[in-house]
């Protein structure tokens, strides 16, 4: 299995600022993902983080708002740009192991935008 | 495309009672099936998964689930719950044939175990 850590674990930010969330996996993984979980709701996939190339975004999410990097196999960042209160959510990093049918999740970053 | 329906948004039970959390899915191709648990203020933890073979799958913490292909269901069960089982439970599916297939989640079921 893979252990995923995220930093920061939580933050309170002002409207109009940006926050970068870091995700580190302790072992080799094939794919990395970023999800959003709005209060009381299920998980929504934001994008697939591709190593060394642009991320693949889901419908409704754009690179200007959620730029993503993945410089190597085990590390990725998600930036939430020009934040508004509607961005208040839990952001979860996820990774698929070498056994492609197993996906692991980080503890999440709890973001509150004032 | 796949979809997942968790039939109950909230399930309150008393401690030591049995519980079943219901999950139905829709897909035009074969799928893998998963149950994840999210404890308060934590990330998701894999409870169990069905890939192939025996339709009864046993997971961690005494949970089990049964894959029923004809009813396209994957209900989660535990014969006797504890207070510590209070959490949000998510059913998820992914396409079996595609290595890059994404997980599709249900809306979640909040299990609350009362003393």
Residue B84 is predicted with a pLDDT of: 96
pLDDT at B111 > cutoff 70: yes
Residue B107 is predicted with a pLDDT of: 93
**Rg of chain B in Å (alpha carbons):** 14
Alpha-carbon gap, residue A88 to A39, rounded angstroms: 8
Alpha-carbon gap, residue B4 to B104, rounded angstroms: 7
Q: What is the mean pLDDT of chain A?
A: 92
**Rg of chain A in Å (alpha carbons):** 13
pLDDT at A96 > cutoff 70: yes
CA atoms within 13 A on the CB side of A77: 12
Of B57, B46, B48, B115, whose CA–CA distance to B86 is shortest? Answer: B115
Confidence class for position B96, pLDDT limits 50, 70, 90? confident
Interchain CB distance below 8 Å, B41 and A110: yes
Q: Nearest C-alpha of chain A: how many angstroms from B106? A: 7
Interchain CB distance below 8 Å, A41 and B36: no
Q: Nearest C-alpha of chain A: how many angstroms from B41? A: 8
Q: Which of B3, B39, B102 to mutate to test the interface with A (most CBs of A within 10 A)?
A: B102
Alpha-carbon gap, residue B36 to B52, rounded angstroms: 18
Q: At B57, list the tokens.
A: 């799958």
Alpha-carbon gap, residue A1 to A103, rounded angstroms: 9
Tens digit of pLDDT for each residue in A23-48? 999 988 888 999 999 988 889 999 99
Residue B99 is predicted with a pLDDT of: 60
Q: Which among A48, A101, A107 has the least Cβ separation from residue B51?
A: A101
Of A99 and B27, which is predicted with more confidence?
B27
The label of the residue with tokens 């996906």 reads A103
The answer to whether A34 and A56 have CB atoms below 8 angstroms apart is no
Residue A89 is predicted with a pLDDT of: 96
Interchain CB distance below 8 Å, A108 and B102: no
Of B100 and A50, which is predicted with more confidence?
A50
Residue B2 is predicted with a pLDDT of: 82
The answer to whether B114 and B61 have CB atoms below 8 angstroms apart is no
pLDDT at A14 > cutoff 90: yes
Alpha-carbon gap, residue B43 to B49, rounded angstroms: 17
Q: Which residue of A has its CA nearest to B32?
A: A101
Q: Which among B42, B90, B105 has the least Cβ separation from residue A107?
A: B42
Interchain CB distance below 8 Å, A42 and B36: no
Q: CB-based contacts of B97: which residues, under 8 Å, 6+ apart?
A: B29, B30
Confidence class for position B65, pLDDT limits 50, 70, 90? very high
């Amino acid at each position: 299995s893979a252990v995923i850590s995220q930093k920061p674990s939580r933050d309170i930010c002002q409207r109009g600022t940006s926050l970068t969330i870091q995700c580190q996996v302790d072992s080799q993984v094939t794919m990395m993902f970023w999800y959003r979980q709005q209060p009381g709701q299920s998980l929504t996939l934001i994008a697939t983080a591709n190593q060394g190339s642009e991320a693949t975004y889901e419908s409704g999410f754009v690179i200007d708002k959620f730029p993503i990097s993945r410089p190597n196999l085990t590390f990725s960042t998600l930036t939430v740009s020009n934040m508004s209160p509607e961005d208040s959510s839990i952001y979860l990093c996820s990774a698929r192991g070498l056994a492609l049918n197993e996906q692991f999740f980080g503890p999440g970053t709890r973001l509150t935008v004032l | 495309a796949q979809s997942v329906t968790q039939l109950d948004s909230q399930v309150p039970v008393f401690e030591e009672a049995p519980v079943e959390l219901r999950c139905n899915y829709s897909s035009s191709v074969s799928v893998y099936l998963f149950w994840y648990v999210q404890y308060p203020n934590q990330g998701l933890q894999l409870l169990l998964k069905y890939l192939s073979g025996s339709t009864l799958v046993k997971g961690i913490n005494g949970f089990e689930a049964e894959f029923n292909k004809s009813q396209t269901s994957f209900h989660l069960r535990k014969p006797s719950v504890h207070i510590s089982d209070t959490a949000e439970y998510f059913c998820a599916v992914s396409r079996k044939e595609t290595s890059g297939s994404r997980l599709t989640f249900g809306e979640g079921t909040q299990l609350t175990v009362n003393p």
